């Protein structure tokens, strides 16, 4: 007992758990969100590729606006995906990441939809412009679908929270007078 062997295991500080080599995990993106984020990035990439291959345009303003929007959407979707999949998620905190995602998705989806409409209106009719436009509509749909799914999930959670205490009925102890 004098050498301290009895107390060694409980008094030694525990080491930090070993960190993953790259710090990458998918545990923060589960179910439909993982598929939605991957689909957003993939469709945005395809829109960028199709738009970049276009050689000739008659009214180039719509194509340039679509180019800027599709590149921005791709980069922002990849950034948000990286935040969800790395240790940056724990660094920023769940609330800040969710709030940023809540604001970014409708803005990206709305601007991407607008750019796709402008490209469709100013397109010269080439197959590549039509393909870029189609991928733009699909990508904006993926961004806006995530907004709708988040809204429906928040409504579902609100109704579940309300059903725990219907009509805000007071419990028996709350109905008792303070002074007997």
Report d(CA 69, CA 59) in Å as an integer: 17
Q: What is the mean pLDDT of residues 21-48?
A: 81
Instruction: Break the chain down into helix, strand, coil percent, rounded to 5.
Output: 75, 0, 25
How many angstroms separate the first and last alpha carbons of the chain?
A: 59
Other Cβ atoms closer than 10 A to 2:
5
Q: Which two tokens stand for residue 179?
A: 């002074």
Task: Give residue-wise pLDDT tens across range 112-154.
Answer: 999 999 999 998 888 999 999 999 999 999 999 988 988 888 8
Residues 74 and 44 sit within 8 Å (Cβ to Cβ):
yes
- The CA distances from residue 91 to 8, 20, 84, 117, 177, in Å, are 33, 15, 11, 38, 48
Residue among 82, 119, 118 nearest 101 (CA): 82
Local confidence band at 171 (pLDDT 50, 70, 90 cut-offs)? low
In percent, the amount of the chain with pLDDT more than 70 equals: 77
- Cα three-residue angle 127-133-138, rounded to 5 degrees: 125
Residue found by looking up tokens 């030694």 in the block: 12
* Residue 40 in tokens: 């957003």
- Are 134 and 38 spatial neighbours (Cβ–Cβ below 8 Å)? no
Tokens of 44: 């945005």
Query: What's the predicted TM-score (pTM) here?
Result: 0.72
Rounded Cα–Cα distance for residues 87 and 110 (Å)? 29
Task: For residues 161 and 44, give the distance between their C-alpha atoms in angstroms, rounded to a whole number.
Answer: 37
């Amino acid at each position: 007992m004098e050498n301290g062997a009895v107390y060694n295991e409980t008094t030694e500080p525990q080491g930090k758990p070993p960190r993953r080599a790259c710090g990458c995990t998918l545990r923060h993106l589960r179910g439909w969100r993982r598929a939605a984020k991957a689909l957003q990035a993939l469709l945005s990439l395809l829109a960028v590729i199709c738009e970049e291959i276009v050689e000739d345009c008659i009214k180039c303003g719509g194509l340039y606006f679509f180019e800027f929007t599709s590149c921005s959407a791709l980069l922002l979707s990849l950034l948000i995906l990286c935040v969800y999949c790395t240790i940056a998620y724990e660094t920023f905190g769940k609330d800040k990441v969710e709030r940023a995602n809540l604001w970014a998705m409708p803005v990206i989806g709305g601007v991407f939809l607008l750019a796709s409409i402008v490209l469709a209106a100013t397109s010269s009719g080439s197959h590549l412009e039509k393909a870029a436009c189609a991928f733009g509509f699909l990508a904006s749909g993926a961004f806006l679908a995530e907004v709708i799914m988040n809204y429906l999930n928040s409504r579902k959670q609100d109704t579940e929270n309300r059903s725990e205490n219907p009509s805000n009925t007071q419990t028996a102890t709350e109905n008792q007078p303070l002074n007997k």
